[in-house]
């Protein structure tokens, strides 16, 4: 199954790059949803020989949440808030992709030097050599999206991508009792996304924009 795990990880890398390079909000949401589904399958695919109920439960939960529920919510916010469906980045799309590729290099280099609990690529553990770098890469991509995009919706997406990274790290490296942590993070994210989705909706109703730059008008004026 190692090849399939690798395939999922490569897919995660590609969707990350696609989200960085795409200008359409709808496409970004679909990409993150697809990534969520694929990453959600990791607990089953990665531990094929010892699938237990917990793994299946985690997979189902995360696929449902990240692949369907959250994207549906975001899509609803997109439609309801009636915003322009452009991503509106601070950094241009080609440059974002270049930064993404550069950070992928950085992640590969870093994780080659990092003392990991399971030796990467070791036979029999189900841990892929790519797992750690891809996990870090997803986290960095999420950060980059949060930092470099104007809209609140894209920041939610960035948050989701980051969560996918953490999830990958936990599942693919088969840490001690990973699923417990996972469920916790998953719950956090879902809660956060709900709050943000609702907030985005209300903000857009109040100030007719979900541009985070506009939020700065809410701060206290400096004297």
Binding region for other proteins (CB under 8 A) = 3, 6-7, 10, 13-14, 17-18, 21-23, 91-95, 97-98, 100-101, 104-105, 108-109, 112, 129-130, 133
Decide whether 98 or 199 has the Cβ nearer to other proteins. Answer: 98
Integer-rounded Cα radius of gyration of the chain: 18
Looking at the Cβ atoms of 7 and 195, the one nearer to other proteins is: 7
Give the tokens for residue 43: 């607990």
* CA separation for the pair 137, 49 (Å, rounded): 27
Closest CA to 83 of 180, 174, 168, 208: 208
CB of 2 to other proteins, least distance (A): 11
Nearer to other proteins by Cβ, of 133 and 158: the residue is 133
Handedness of CA 93, 99, 102, 103 (dihedral sign): negative
Say which residue the tokens 């949401």 belong to.
29
The smaller minimum CB distance to other proteins, of residues 69 and 95, is found at 95
Min CB(114)–other proteins separation in Å: 14
Read off the tokens for 185. Answer: 């993070």
Taking the complex as a whole, the smallest distance from the CB of residue 23 to other proteins amounts, in Å, to: 8
């Amino acid at each position: 199954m190692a090849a399939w795990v690798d395939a999922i990880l490569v897919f995660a890398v590609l969707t990350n790059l696609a989200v960085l390079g795409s200008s359409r909000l709808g496409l970004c949401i679909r990409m993150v949803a697809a990534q969520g589904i694929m990453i959600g399958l990791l607990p089953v695919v990665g531990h094929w020989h010892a699938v237990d109920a917990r793994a299946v439960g985690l997979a189902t939960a995360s696929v449902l949440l990240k692949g369907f529920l959250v994207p549906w919510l975001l899509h609803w916010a997109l439609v309801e808030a009636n915003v322009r469906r452009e991503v509106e980045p601070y950094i241009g799309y080609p440059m974002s992709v270049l930064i993404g590729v550069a950070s992928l290099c950085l992640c590969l280099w870093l994780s080659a030097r990092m003392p990991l609990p399971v030796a990467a690529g070791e036979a029999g553990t189900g841990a892929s050599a790519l797992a750690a770098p891809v996990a870090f890469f997803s986290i960095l991509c999420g950060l980059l999206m949060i930092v470099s995009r104007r809209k609140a919706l894209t920041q939610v997406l960035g948050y989701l991508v980051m969560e996918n990274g953490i999830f990958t790290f936990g599942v693919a490296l088969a840490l001690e009792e990973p699923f417990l942590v996972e469920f916790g993070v998953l719950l956090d994210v879902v809660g956060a996304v709900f709050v943000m989705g609702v907030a985005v909706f209300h903000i857009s109703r109040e100030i007719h924009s979900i541009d985070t730059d506009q939020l700065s008008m809410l701060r206290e004026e400096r004297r």
